[in-house]
Amino acid sequence: MQTNNTIIERLFSSFSDLEKAIVSARSTLAKKGSVPSDIMERLNSYDGILAKQRSLAFTLCEHINKGNWGEVSRHVSLINGLSAMIRDDARQILSSLALNSDQKQEDEDFNFC
């Protein structure tokens, strides 16, 4: 049972780390000033996804305690899927911002005035 507790502690710790990363990203982008509003909305949606992950994790603990391994597996898959969704979306946001940054640099390089 100690192993399960360690895994659950690491899971909740990872949620805290993710929450800190979201807050940091939001702050960094807000300071940048020229970030499209849809990017900020997407970033803000991560809060709801994180809340759902935490809820699923609490339910996961209940299933572990009951020995309901089918539901344990299902909840782990759901939590992992939500994490992958955030990861993939964050990568897409970073790519989009990098592309926009490159485009601005090109525009500045071709200033003929």
- Tell me: the pLDDT tens digits for 57-90? 999 999 999 999 999 999 999 999 999 999 999 8
Instruction: Judge whether 100 lies within some domain.
Output: yes
Helical H segments across 33-68, by residue range: 37-66
Section 30-42 average pLDDT? 86
Go through the chain and tell me how many residues it has. Answer: 113
Instruction: Judge whether 99 lies within some domain.
Output: yes
Instruction: Judge whether 79 lies within some domain.
Output: yes
Tokens of 33: 């000033």
By residue range, what is the domain housing residue 70? 2-106
pLDDT at 52: 97
d(CA 86, CA 50): 9
Displacement of CA 61 from its chain's centroid (Å): 22
Instruction: Judge whether 112 lies within some domain.
Output: no
Number of domains in the chain: 1
pLDDT above 60 for 1: no
Instruction: Judge whether 111 lies within some domain.
Output: no
Instruction: Judge whether 40 lies within some domain.
Output: yes
pLDDT at 9: 93
